Structures are given as C-alpha cells and as structure tokens.
C-alpha cells in the first residue's frame, strides 16, 4: 500500500503540484531536528507489492514476515476484493502526503507546524476544516475580514512578536465562488516574513494548476474528491521538510487508514490527463460557467463570485424564499440546493449552482429557463 502512496506523491511532484520553499520554512527544520534528537524519528518502510503474511520491503534483500498491518482478515489482496477495486477504477473511476480526506489534511497541519509562540491568521470565510484545524493548534488565532488586505496587513503588524506567522486561506471560497487575492497575500507574507497555506479544493484541475498560488511561498492542500473525480482522499503539498514533519506528527495521518488503491489509481490517471494538455475539460468548464453566469445576470439574477468560477451562488437573501425556490426547481427536475444560516450568514441565503464540463449548452439553457420561470413566479425577477 505504501508503494501506491509513494507513487501518488511522485505524480503530484512531477506535475508541479507541490510548492517548494527554502528559508521561509526554516523553523520546520528545527522541529525535525528536535524529533531526531529525541530519538523518535521513524523511517517509513515501503512495501513493494500486495499486503500478505510475507512481503517484499524496499531496501531489504529478503522477504519479511508481515506483523505490522491492520489486514486482520487477510482480505486486502483477496482476489474478489482486487477484482472489485479494478472494477471501481474502471467505473469511477516536491513531496506530498495523502489523507483519507482534505478535512483530515487541514485538521492535521496547524497543530504540527505551530506552537504557542506562533500566530495563524485566517480569512473569516475559510472552510470549516481550516477553522477546526486551527482550533487544534496552540498558536495565537487571528482572523481578517474576507479578502481584506488592509486588515491582513494590520494583523501581521500586530503579531510581529510571534516567532512564526502563518496566513491561511481558501484558494476558492466554496460558498461564495470568489478567488483569494493570492498574489497580494504572498506579497504581504514576503514583506512580513510570514508563510502561507492555501486550500485548493475548489480550484485544483481547472483554475490553472490550482488557484495559481505563488509556488515559492505557499504550502497547499487539496482533494481527490471534487474536480479530480474521486470519491474521497485529500493531500498536502509542500517542502520536503514540511511533509516529513507531517509524516512524523500529523495525527489524522498516523491514526487513520490510508486510501484505497482504486481511488489513488484513478487520481493518478486524472493528473496524467490534465498534465498532458490533451483534454479540453478546463476550457469547456469556463465556457459553461460564462454561459450560465451571463444568461442569469441578463435575466436579472444576482450571481456572486468570480466570472470564471463554476461555483455560482444565486443570491436570494431570504431563507424561506431560497428554500421555496429550490423546492420548485427540484420539482421541475433541476437538482439544486438552497443554503441558509448557519452554513452562510443570516440574510444571505442562496442557491449554489455548480457547473461542470460535462454539462451541455442545452442543459445549461434549460436550468436557466427554469430559474427564470420560478423567479417570475416568486417575483424575484421581472
């Protein structure tokens, strides 16, 4: 299984999805030295092949008897299980560390990197996984108004006494469909000698390579379960020293099962396809996004977010109106969902529409037509 993980990490690095840093992360090297000096450094052994009572391990001349596996029933390599995994791949089908989900990836980084002498500065609209991950750390917690670079600057100035300052942000904000001001965040981080962390879950694969986080200054996390077509799986990319420390200390990594080979295999294939440049999926997605946004705005709807972001929040403001609107759309065969408090702030209810490269122009025109019909029924548009 570890061989599969190493392969996937290699693919991430090969496709330039692993940001690299130097001196910015020097404090991590100190933490790694502490682990080594304490005699608790663990070298991961890579199993070359299937889980079995007798296994081949990288660097070992002879096979070893395997007494360190959770494979209690011996089923991980059972022919029927392998057959099912292959079928799942067919139908569903520079360093990085894999987690069962990106929620786990985000929950497992801040506690490891930061202590009570440090500060983490977070956008107020960051995903819940970032918020929960920050809560697990002992660092001083600061929050800046959404995408407000002036406020971020003030917080960086106020936290000058902290040993390490880490700015955390979503690359694309999942409820609002807007893109973080990553170039400005990176510039501020450089000015104040801070480091940055970007969650790329809603941008990986179609907004450039991720949301175009500056490669020289950011560590990032993402998921295999959104644009990459997988059912689960998350990962963190970053400098080798950061990932090495996560392998030693990140609790969601140490105390969880790894990803199924079927999920990892499918993700590797998607990365290869995207890196080849032979697909038009990202452009088709942009075209579909612009078609939907343009038609909806022309009809009189307010659609929030970045023009090229396929997360399209149709703002309805009132909770009951959004619920009624979504139910009428569903009755017409349109699978859309209303979001209201506590998922979004009070008075900012919406229907979040998510476009896909798989949608046809006809399908987009149909959903816009239903929005217009229901909007007129409920007196949202004229």
The residues annotated with a catalytic role in the active site are 174, 202, 226
Closest listed residue to residue 367, CA positions, set 339, 337, 344, 333? 333
Give how far the C-alpha of residue 265 lies from the chain's centroid of Cα atoms, to the nearest Å.
18
Gap between the Cα atoms of 53 and 67, Å rounded:
7
Which long-range contacts link 340-348 to residues 24+ away (Cβ below 8 Å)? 343/175, 344/175, 346/319, 347/317, 347/318, 348/315, 348/317
Closest listed residue to residue 349, CA positions, set 359, 358, 337, 360? 337
Question: Residue 88: how many CB atoms within 10 A of its CB?
Answer: 17
Instruction: Compute the residue count for the chain.
Output: 382
Tokens of 219: 């560590």
126: left (phi over 0), alpha (psi -120 to 50) or beta: beta
Are 48 and 62 contacting, i.e. CB atoms less than 8 angstroms apart?
Answer: no
Gap between the Cα atoms of 347 and 326, Å rounded:
16
DSSP label of 57? B
Closest listed residue to residue 339, CA positions, set 364, 357, 315, 365? 315
Sign of the Cα torsion 65, 250, 206, 208 reads negative
User: Which 3 state secondary structure label does DSSP give 78?
Assistant: coil
Pairing relationship of beta strands 337-339 and 140-144 according to DSSP bridges: unpaired
Angle of helix 2-14 relative to helix 261-276, nearest 10 degrees, comes to 20
Contacts of residue 14, defined as CB under 8 A and 6 or more positions apart, other chains included, come to 94, 275
Gap between the Cα atoms of 313 and 28, Å rounded:
39
């Amino acid at each position: 299984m570890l061989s599969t993980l190493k392969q996937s990490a290699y693919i991430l690095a090969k496709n330039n999805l692993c940001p690299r840093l130097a001196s910015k992360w020097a404090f991590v090297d100190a933490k790694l030295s502490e682990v080594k000096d304490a005699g608790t450094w663990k070298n991961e052994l890579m199993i070359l092949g299937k889980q079995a009572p007798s296994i081949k391990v990288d660097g070992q001349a002879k096979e070893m008897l395997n007494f360190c596996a959770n494979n209690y029933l011996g089923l991980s390599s059972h022919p029927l299980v392998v057959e099912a995994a292959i079928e799942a791949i067919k139908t569903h089908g520079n360093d990085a560390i894999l987690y069962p989900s990106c929620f786990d990836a985000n929950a497992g980084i801040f506690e490891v990197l930061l202590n009570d002498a440090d500060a983490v500065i977070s956008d107020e609209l960051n995903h819940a996984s970032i918020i929960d991950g920050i809560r697990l750390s002992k660092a001083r917690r600061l929050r800046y108004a959404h995408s407000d670079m002036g406020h971020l600057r003030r917080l960086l100035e106020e936290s000058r006494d902290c040993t390490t300052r880490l700015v955390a942000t979503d690359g694309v904000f999942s409820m609002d469909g807007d893109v973080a001001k990553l170039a400005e965040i990176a510039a501020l981080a450089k000015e104040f000698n801070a480091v940055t962390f970007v969650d790329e879950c809603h941008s990986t694969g179609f907004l450039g390579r991720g949301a175009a986080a500056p490669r020289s200054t950011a560590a990032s996390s993402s998921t295999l379960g959104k644009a990459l077509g997988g059912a689960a799986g998350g990962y963190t990319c970053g400098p080798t020293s950061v990932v090495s420390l996560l392998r030693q200390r990140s609790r969601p990594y140490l105390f969880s099962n790894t990803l199924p080979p079927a999920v990892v295999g499918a993700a590797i294939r998607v990365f290869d396809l995207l890196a080849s440049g032979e697909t038009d999926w990202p452009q088709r997605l942009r075209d579909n996004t612009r078609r939907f946004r343009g038609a909806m705005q022309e009809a009189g709807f307010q659609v929030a977010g970045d023009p090229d972001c396929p997360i399209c929040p149709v703002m309805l403001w009132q909770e009951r109106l959004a619920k009624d609107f979504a139910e009428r759309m569903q009755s017409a065969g349109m699978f859309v969902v209303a979001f209201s408090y506590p998922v979004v702030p009070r008075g900012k209810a919406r229907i979040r529409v998510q476009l896909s490269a798989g949608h046809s122009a006809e399908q987009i025109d149909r959903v816009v037509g239903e929005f217009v019909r229901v909007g007129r029924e409920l007196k949202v548009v004229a």
